[in-house]
Amino acid sequence: MPIDFGADCRPLFSIESDLIFLNNGSFGAPPHSMLEAQATYRAMAERSPISFFRNKLPKYLREAAGDLGAFIGAAEGTLAFTENATTGINSVVLSVAHSLRPGDILLTTDHVYGAVRQTLNRYAEWTGAKVVEVSVPFPLHDSNEITEVIAAALTSQVKFAVFDHITSPSGIIFPIQDIVNLCRERNIPVLVDGAHAPGMVELNIEHLGADWYVGNCHKWMFAPKGCAFLYTAPERQKETHALITSHGYGKGYAAEFDFTGTKDYSAFLAVRDALKFYRENGGLEKIAAYNRNLARSMRRMLAETWNVAPPAPESAIGSLAALPVPENLPANEETGWALHDELFGLHRIEVPVTFLKGRLWVRISAQIFNESNEYCALAEALPKAIISVQCRL
């Protein structure tokens, strides 16, 4: 039987009962049943370790990758599991770094996730390449603004590009198909950071046509933490290597990524259980729709309550939404953390305060265990938290 969304399904999750948890976007929240499934795979490995790692694990990983591929539109043999999207991105950037020369441009946007920015900076330092961040407007009036500024930046010097599907600090859904098309027209290899996409939006990765695509299954798909994937187009697999070199090196894409040494592979195997949970409870038509509608309606309510303007059209919003902090506070990461800690410590509200474009933003998430009264509590608590932070500055 499908579960009821909102407070009724909150007991299915491990989140503390008194915590208003509006930050599913950071690490996700698997239901108890996913943790139990993961424990089953761990126990299986411990009962007969040699048999499990040698005989069972290779088969189970490929079966799990096949099920996941069917869900996200990726052909057999194109998916590999990684612990998180950042690991997958590091694998790709390291793989292409050998072809970079001084003066080459690694292109991304100023909405890039912090860990990805650091990854690009690191390999640029090694190779003499240059990282360029396209300034994407925010507030954003129309998604065409995104494609226009990216198109203007795709010069002949760009040798590699990384673009978000759904941004972390701003929660914007980029027009990723148009962006990938622009890159392909110019023969620029493109990696899509889809950390937030699986389970939030419909995916057909093969149709998208990116060279690489990474996504997390532990954010919006209910998988245990540490379950992500890297899609690599067939023509790019020979040059794409796992971040950790192990026994599979030289034996093909899947073999190289599937086993990178002794570790806990149970989160990867539990993705099949997560897919079952997701489908049994309505999939995109119900789960993603509930989250999207809740995020959009609560964004409207908060904007009206705080007297601020929503910084993006509703069509660009999924299960994440950012709103400007309504008062004039020093705009930096330190103040953002101070405001976060005030909300968490005194009001028991877990919500991130991000720093982007010289402003502070409150980024809400909507997951099936959330309901409107929790955002009403945030609406009331934020002005009080701001005053408290101002008094300490």
Same domain assignment for residues 43 and 84? yes
User: Would 85 be classed as within a structural domain?
Assistant: yes
Closest among 76, 136, 145 to 112, alpha carbons compared: 136
Mean pLDDT in residue range 263-281? 97
Q: Contact at 8 Å (CB) between 354 and 169?
A: yes
Same domain assignment for residues 12 and 45? no
User: Would 252 be classed as within a structural domain?
Assistant: yes
CA distance 135 to 250: 40
pLDDT at residue 85 greater than cutoff 90: yes
CA distance 206 to 112: 23
Verdict on whether the full-model pTM lies above 0.85: yes
Predicted pLDDT of residue 128: 96
pLDDT at residue 2 greater than cutoff 90: no
Same domain assignment for residues 109 and 250? yes
Mean pLDDT in residue range 359-384? 98
Residue type at 50 in one-letter notation: I
CA distance 56 to 27: 29
User: Would 116 be classed as within a structural domain?
Assistant: yes
Same domain assignment for residues 267 and 291? no
Same domain assignment for residues 343 and 321? yes
User: Would 330 be classed as within a structural domain?
Assistant: yes
pLDDT at residue 1 greater than cutoff 80: no
Same domain assignment for residues 295 and 343? yes
CA distance 190 to 361: 29
Residue 381: CATH number of its domain: 3.90.1150.10
Same domain assignment for residues 114 and 216? yes
Same domain assignment for residues 117 and 100? yes
Distance of CA 289 to the CA centre of its chain: 18
User: Would 307 be classed as within a structural domain?
Assistant: yes
Predicted pLDDT of residue 70: 98
pLDDT at residue 132 greater than cutoff 90: yes
Same domain assignment for residues 141 and 163? yes
Buried b (16+ CB within 10 A) or exposed e, 146-168: bbeebeebbeeebbbbbbbbbbb
pLDDT at residue 392 greater than cutoff 90: no
CA distance 83 to 228: 5
CA distance 181 to 175: 10
What is the number of structural domains in the chain? 2
Task: Among 223, 247, 277, identify where a domain stops.
Answer: 277
Same domain assignment for residues 133 and 272? yes
Residue 255: CATH number of its domain: 3.40.640.10
Instruction: Quick: pLDDT tens for 232-265.
Output: 999 999 999 999 999 999 999 999 999 999 999 9
Task: Among 277, 312, 329, identify where a domain stops.
Answer: 277
Q: How confident is the model at residue 329 (pLDDT cuts 50, 70, 90)?
A: confident
Q: Contact at 8 Å (CB) between 199 and 183?
A: no
Higher per-residue pLDDT: 141 or 328: 141
Predicted pLDDT of residue 44: 96
SS3 194: strand
CA distance 123 to 336: 29
User: Would 82 be classed as within a structural domain?
Assistant: yes
Same domain assignment for residues 201 and 336? no
Q: How confident is the model at residue 178 (pLDDT cuts 50, 70, 90)?
A: very high
Instruction: Quick: pLDDT tens for 91-124.
Output: 999 999 999 999 999 999 999 999 999 999 999 9
Task: Among 277, 292, 324, identify where a domain stops.
Answer: 277
User: Would 144 be classed as within a structural domain?
Assistant: yes
Which range marks the domain in which residue 179 is found? 34-277
CA distance 349 to 152: 41
User: Would 1 be classed as within a structural domain?
Assistant: no
Give the phi and the psi of residue 167 in degrees, each rounded to 5. -75, 150
Predicted pLDDT of residue 103: 94
Which residues face 324 on adjacent strands?
361
DSSP 17-58: TT-EE--HHHH---BHHHHHHHHHHHHHHHHSHHHIIIIIHH
Measured between alpha carbons, how far is residue 53 from residues 36, 257, 270 in Å? 20, 14, 16
Same domain assignment for residues 25 and 38? no
